[in-house]
Structure 1
Amino acid sequence: MVYDENDYLMLSGIQHFQFCKRQWGLIHIEQVWAENEATTHGQILHQKADNPYIKEKRKDVITSRAMHVSSKTLGLYGILDVVEFHKDESGVKLKGKRGNWIPRIVEYKRGKPKKDTRDIVQLVAQTICLEETMGCHIEVGYLYYHSVNQKKEIEITDQLRQEVYDLAEQMHTYYEQKIIDKAEYFKNCSLCSLVDICMPRLSKKSRNVENYIRQSLLSEESI
């Protein structure tokens, strides 16, 4: 499927969508946002990474920042933190540079590696966008975790690519139909900056009351 540019969604949203569809809906459909310590720290961390005027060249690696990319097949657009171009004859041409270069994304995260794949699917989506923008194929990317000073290499597999295409299709369906999932409480909800807006604990209590009433009525009917 090919999406019209007017229907593009934010690339960064795929991470929210994979982690919590309600969070994504509140942010991207309801246009709701709130800051907490984690989001503020993340913004500070990205200030240098997102500065397009900071460019570096070390030996056979060129580092570029704040690249604009998009994908017609995903219907997503966004800005990449950092792209490293490694000199390699199997790569692509860069304007004003000799030789060929292979691009590899470095996505910066404030915390540490997560048990789920939300960071990975974001990196893979970014890679697909960069591939379409530059007309190349990219096999690996990197996630850099600030709190543990760890740069983790991620292989961009066909399975991960398909997961990203499926998520992007769901995102467009949710957005077009204005679907916002009901709140569910998880142990990580307290870390979300939208917890006071989402109010998952109240939703859980409401369901518990409904279940209690339903069970009571069933018990009375069986008497």
Structure 2
Amino acid sequence: MVYAEEDYLMLSGIQHFQFCKRQWGLIHIDQQWEDNEATAHGQVLHKKADNPYVKEKRKNVIISRAIHVSSPNLGLYGILDVVEFHKDAAGVTLKGRRGKWRPAIVEYKRGQPKKDTRDIVQLVAQTICLEETLSCTIDVGYLYYHKVNQKKKIEITPTLRQEVFKLAQEMHAYYEGKQVTKAEYFKNCQLCSLANICLPRLSKKSRNIDNYIALALKDEGSL
């Protein structure tokens, strides 16, 4: 399926969607957001990475920042933190540069490697968008974790690509239906910047709350 440009969704949202569909829905459908220490630190970390005027050339590597990309096949658009272009005869041509260059994305994260794949699917989605923008194939990308100062190489496998296409299709289906899933409480909820908006503990105990309200109204009526 090829999406019209007006139907594109934010590329960064795929990480939220894979982690928690309700979190994604609150942000991208209900337009709700609340910063916490983690999100504030992340914004500071991305300031340099998102500056398109900061470019570096290191021998046979060009480092470009804040590259706008999109994918009609995923229906996603966004801005990449950093793309490294390594001199390679099998690469792509770049305007104003001699030779050919092989691109690889470096996505910056404030924390450390996670047990789930939310960062990985975001990187793969970014890679697919960059491939379609540059008309090329990219086999690897990198996740840089600020807390542990670690640059982790990620192979862009067919399995990961299929997962990303499935997630993107689900995102569009939820968005078209304006569907925000019900809250469920998990141990990671306390780390979410939307915890005070989502209120997963209260939602999980909605039956008890309804009983409490009904009882309170009954007591008031008996006065």
Which bracket does the TM-score occupy, shorter chain normalised?
over 0.9
Per the normalisation by structure 2, the TM-score is 0.93
The residue matched to 2:187 in structure 1 has which SS? coil
Aligned residue number for residue 85 of structure 2: 85
Runs ≥4 in structure 1, deviation > 3 angstroms? Answer: 207-210
- Determine the structure 2 residue equivalent to 1:189: 189
Counterpart CA distance in 2 for 1:207 and 1:38 is 33
Shift of 1:208: 6.3
In structure 2, relative to structure 1, the CA distance for the partners of 1:201 and 1:3 (3 Å cut) is same
Which residue of structure 1 lines up, in the alignment, with residue 141 of structure 2? Answer: 141
- Which residue in the other structure is 1:58 paired with? 58
Mapped to 1, the partners of 2:205 and 2:165 lie a distance apart of: 35
Tell me the secondary structure at the aligned position of residue 165 of structure 2: helix
Q: Structure 1 length as normaliser, TM-score?
A: 0.93
Give the Cα separation in 1 of the matches to 2:43 and 2:183.
Answer: 26
Q: Name the residue aligned to 1:29.
A: 29
Q: Does 1:177 align with 2:177?
A: yes
- Aligned-residue identity in percent: 78
Please give the per-residue CA displacement for 1:42-90, whole angstroms capped at 9, x wherever unaligned: 0000000000000000000000000000000000000000000000000
Secondary structure of the structure 2 residue equivalent to 1:44:
helix
Residue 159 of structure 2 corresponds to 159
For 1:31 and 1:191, how far apart are their aligned partners in 2? Answer: 19
CA distance in structure 1 between the aligned counterparts of 2:123 and 2:183, rounded to whole angstroms: 27
SS for the counterpart of 2:190 is helix
Q: What's the Cα RMSD here?
A: 1.2
1:98 alignment partner, SS class: coil
Residue of structure 2 equivalent to 1:201: 201
The amino acid of 1:96's aligned partner reads G
Distance 2:47 2:79 in 1: 13
How much does 1:206 deviate?
2.0
Whole-angstrom CA distance in 1 between matches of 2:185 and 2:147: 27
The residue type equivalent to 1:176 in the other structure is E
Structure 1: runs of 5 or more not aligned? 211-223
In structure 2, what is the Cα distance between the partners aligned to 1:206 and 1:119? 32
- Report how many residues are paired: 211
Counterparts of 1:6-25 in structure 2, within 5 Å, are: 6-25=6-25
Residue ranges of structure 2 left out of the alignment (5+ in a row): 211-223
Residues 38 and 91 of structure 1: CA distance in aligned 2, closer, same or farther (over 3 Å): same
- Residue 207 of structure 1: CA displacement? 4.8
Q: What residue in structure 2 maps to residue 99 of structure 1?
A: 99
Corresponding residue SS for 2:77: strand
Query: Relative to 1, partners in 2 of residues 1:196 and 1:52: Cα closer, same or farther, differing over 3 Å?
Result: same
Indicate the SS of the match to 1:22.
helix
Aligned to 2:118: 118
Deviation at 1:204, TM superposition (A): 1.6
Distance 1:209 1:147 in 2: 40
Q: What code does the residue aligned with 1:64 have? A: S
Q: Which amino acid aligns with 1:91?
A: G
Compute the displacement of 1:203 (Å): 1.1
1:71 is matched with 71
Q: 2:128 is matched with which residue?
A: 128
Secondary structure of the equivalent of 1:189? helix
Give the AA of the match of 2:15.
Q
1:173-208 deviations in whole A, cap 9, x for unaligned? Answer: 000001100000000101101000000010122256
For 1:188, what is the secondary structure of its paired residue?
helix
